[in-house]
Amino acid sequence: MTLPMSDPTAWATAMNNLGMTPLGIAGQPILPDFDPALGMMTGIPPITPMMPGLGIVPPPIPPDMPVVKEIIHCKSCTLFPPNPNLPPPATRERPPGCKTVFVGGLPENGTEQIIVEVFEQCGEIIAIRKSKKNFCHIRFAEEYMVDKALYLSGYRIRLGSSTDKKDTGRLHVDFAQARDDLYEWECKQRMLAREERHRRRMEEERLRPPSPPPVVHYSDHECSIVAEKLKDDSKFSEAVQTLLTWIERGEVNRRSANNFYSMIQSANSHVRRLVNEKAAHEKDMEEAKEKFKQALSGILIQFEQIVAVYHSASKQKAWDHFTKAQRKNISVWCKQAEEIRNIHNDELMGIRREEEMEMSDDEIEETTETKETEESALVSQTEALKEENDSLRWQLDAYRNEVELLKQEQGKAHREDDPNKEQQLKLLQQALQGMQQHLLKVQEEYKRKEAELEKIKDDKLQVEKMLENLKEKESCASRLCASSQDSDYPLEKTLNSSPIKSEREALLVGIISTFLHVHPFGASIEYICSYLHRLDNKICTSDVECLMSRLQHTFKQEMTGVGASLEKRWKFCGFEGLKLT
């Protein structure tokens, strides 16, 4: 076997790894003291990275142990490993997604078939671009195959058994930057990013609460379906939500107004049902409260009996017969029972206290409702006037804008050719003047109503003061009656002689005075009594008329109207009567 020995140390190392005595070209041993028993492959067949089941890249080697490469035999060439004492070949920075390698130092007579024979053991080759200057680019199918190809960097290649310089070379394998590799890597990164976004979106959708179902668009068919659902108690909430969405979207128009009105009427029909359900639930709650209260009172009675047993056992008559431990247990049990009894007793008293407070709140609400109705009527009138004033002001602004637009259009066009525009302008100006006058009248009426409202409030305060004075006088009279029995008859005479006989009549006088003061043109007795019946149904018309006829300086009766429209009206004349009296 005659092989070139350009690097004797590498040749000796390779022969040593094969378990053979290293020999020179002439056959003399390179290492005279070599012992075959000490070879690395003694007793086992030589292992190369090209054996079936093994890649070119050997298993991981500890960093402190030098890497020993093997001779690789191919059909058309042989690869000899580099000197292990030399530093590893330099490589450039690995591009992202690199699948292409640069192979330099090829033999001049090397063909593409030989390159495929050497590097196809590293993996599937997709493309080879060979140059005339002894280098080529090889593109593999996967990225890990590039690492296997880099393992061959530094090997010396020899074609066949020729020693010609054109048949030998020193391989240099390095990373190569290719646009196809970069494009595939970017596509892969984009795909991974899409998968990550999809995974995050699926996770967010899994954690997100379910969205409500979409509301269908309005149509006659859908309207009939919703109208049927509104009549069904089980589907009422879903149908009401659909109706609300349609109204907020602005689906109501002249054509669909009747359909929407019928649906709203159907929704209103459920009010009574809901009120009845609430009343039934309140009744159930009251019954449950009553049952709980009865059960709690029964438990308290049993606790009282148990505590009585403990107290009777603690008396001297029975206490002396118990042992010390039994007495201790009985005293502890008695304390525990008393504590539990006190807790339950406090709970029962708290329930009763809450019921009493609810009863008192109901009484207060009944008294305040009468006062609120009077004030709310006056406030509603002022609010109505304010709304009318605002609407007129907005109409006035709209007319002004229209007049300005007409003026602008008229300035652009010729006045002689457009006589109709002048007439429209005059009409709009007249309408604007009428609106301004109407607005002024409404403002004056609004101011007058505000003044009347203030007067009514002052009169109400005066009437309340009068009622307080009457109450004080009545209390003083009652005290005088209790202090002296001899003065009973004169007091009764004076009380009987006064026109107001009781506190109820005084309250009626105040309410009627306030009512008539709001109506300066007077009101009939039926109108007055209809207002009073809202406050108390037991008020009689004849009693009210008798009371008003007795107070001649406060109320006066006048006849108004002509012929068939003749009627009697009562007016408030308290301020005039105050001057006369």
Kindly list the domain boundaries of the chain, sorted by start residue.
72-187, 220-278, 293-355, 503-578
Look at residue 379 and tell me whether its pLDDT is greater than 80: no
Look at residue 174 and tell me whether its pLDDT is greater than 80: yes
For 407, 410, 418, 429, the CA distances from 415, given in Å and listed in that order, are 11, 7, 5, 17
For residue 515, which of 365, 367, 377 has the smallest C-alpha distance?
377
How much of the chain is helix, strand and coil, in % rounded to 5? 60, 10, 30
> CA–CA separation, 316 vs 311, rounded Å?
10
Lowest mean pLDDT among 61-65, 274-278, 453-457, 497-501: 61-65
User: Parallel, antiparallel, or unpaired: how do β-strands 567-572 and 72-73 relate?
Assistant: unpaired
CATH number for the domain running over 503-578: 1.10.10.10
For residue 127, which of 117, 135, 138, 142 has the smallest C-alpha distance?
138
Residue 106 has phi, psi (to 5 degrees) of -75, 155
- When pLDDT is averaged across residues 255-274 and rounded to a whole number, the result is 89
Q: Report the share of the chain in percent with pLDDT over 90.
A: 17
Q: What does the pLDDT read at residue 369? A: 62
Look at residue 35 and tell me whether its pLDDT is greater than 60: no
Please state which architecture CATH assigns to domain 72-187.
2-Layer Sandwich (3.30)
Q: pLDDT tens across 218-239, in order?
A: 898 989 999 998 888 888 888 8
pLDDT band at 6 (very low <50, low <70, confident <90, very high): very low
**Can you count the helices (H) and strands (E) in the chain?**
16, 10
Q: What does the pLDDT read at residue 485? A: 47
Is there a shared CATH topology between the 72-187 domain and the 503-578 domain? no
Q: What does the pLDDT read at residue 84? A: 86
Q: pLDDT tens across 323-368, in order?
A: 888 888 888 898 888 888 888 888 888 888 887 787 766 666 655 6
Q: Which of 119-123, 298-302, 334-338, 514-518 has the highest mean pLDDT?
A: 119-123
Q: What does the pLDDT read at residue 407? A: 81
> CA–CA separation, 495 vs 515, rounded Å?
27
Q: Report the share of the chain in percent with pLDDT over 70.
A: 80
Q: What does the pLDDT read at residue 144? A: 92
Counting Cα atoms < 13 Å in the Cβ hemisphere of 47 gives 13
Compare 480 and 123 and report the one with higher pLDDT.
123
For residue 171, which of 141, 142, 136, 139 has the smallest C-alpha distance?
136
